[in-house]
Amino acid sequence: MAEGFSSVPLGVVGAALLVSDEGQTMHQFSAAMGRLGISLEVCGKSTILKKLLAEQKFEAVIVDLGIGESASTAIGHVHSSPSNKTAVTFAIVDDQNKVHSAFQDGFRFVVPRPLSAQSIDKILKAAFGLIVRERRRYFRYSVNLPVIIRKENIPPIRCFAINISEGGLAINTPIPMNQGFRGNAEFGLPNGDLHFTAESQVCWYRHGGQAGLRFITFTSGHHAQLQEWLSRRLEENLPEAIVAKFREATSS
């Protein structure tokens, strides 16, 4: 359960970071991302890439290698970021001769210049399902749900979930919880008949009563049910023009 990252705004599929100082590149990617409901943040200096990756969560990272950053250094920053190591990565290269080396360095997609709306749209269409899955994995939905944590030899811990994701729960707990504590979390989802039991582990605790639980194992089939429920919650706030693309990506 990630801690300390601001949520992607409602109404967008995900967030992307573009590292480039070239105006036309910024404009082209901004327009293409907008057509897919993806918000785009742009920074013009490769030197702050590592800092941005440490501070924010992005579903996609696009690095313009024309600004002087080596492919291996740039992809290294992404892969060493705990919350962005699975982001979908793109390299913009100056010519076709650099495509193979960018793939070898670890970029998932490579976009050679000259750029066009058609070439960018083609690459993003191929990557869209991966971006959606990355967004869904980290999507946190605000809730107010009773949770019971059970562990042998101690009384049940009754607390409340404040948000839920595929990977875990953030909770308000009446007692301090040590990082690494494990127990079975029992909870139901609002406005539905879905009830879950998941072996969970405390991955962070804040003095004042908030903690993060990471799901370890679910009872059979329940993880898929939670994924489906969260996908519907994410879809509810998407623009109608994006919904069909989102449904296609989540069903594939």
More confident residue, 25 or 67: 25
Confidence of residue 244 (pLDDT cuts 50, 70, 90): confident
| CA nearest to 183, candidates 220, 147, 149 | 149
Mean pLDDT computed over every residue of the chain: 88
Q: For position 9, what pLDDT does the model report? A: 54
Give the closest residue to 61 by CA, choosing from 43, 78, 45.
78
Cβ–Cβ < 8 Å for 71, 89: no
pLDDT band of 233, cuts 50, 70, 90: confident
Residue type, position 230, single letter: L
- Check if the beta carbon of residue 53 is closer than 8 Å to that of residue 76: no
Q: Report the distance separating Cα 193 and Cα 18, nearest Å.
A: 42
Question: Cα–Cα distances in Å, from 249 out to 13, 59, 101, 179, 182?
Answer: 11, 14, 29, 36, 34
Q: Whole-prediction pTM value?
A: 0.78
- What's residue 164's pLDDT? 95
> By mean pLDDT, which of 7-21, 80-94, 102-116 is the weakest?
7-21
Q: Using the predicted structure, report yes or no on whether residue 240 has a pLDDT greater than 70.
A: yes
Maximum average pLDDT range among 2-11, 166-175, 183-192, 232-241: 166-175
Interatomic CA distance for residues 160 and 223, integer angstroms: 20
**Which of the four pLDDT bands, split at 50, 70 and 90, describes residue 26?**
very high
CATH class of the domain whose range is 141-229: mainly beta
Range name among 142-151, 169-178, 219-228 with the lowest pLDDT average: 219-228
Q: Does domain 14-138 have CATH number 3.40.50.2300?
A: yes
Q: For 9-13, 130-134, 248-252, which range has the lowest pLDDT when averaged over its residues?
A: 9-13
The CATH 2.40.10.220 portion of the chain extends over 141-229
Task: Please report, for residues 16, 45, 71, 183, 244, the alpha-carbon distance to residue 67 in angstroms, rounded to integers and kept in the order given.
Answer: 18, 8, 11, 49, 36
Residue extent(s) of CATH 3.40.50.2300 domains in the chain:
14-138
Tokens found for residue 59: 């579903």
Continuous segment of H or E residues that includes residue 52: helix 49-55
Output the six-digit token pair for 231: 């996908």
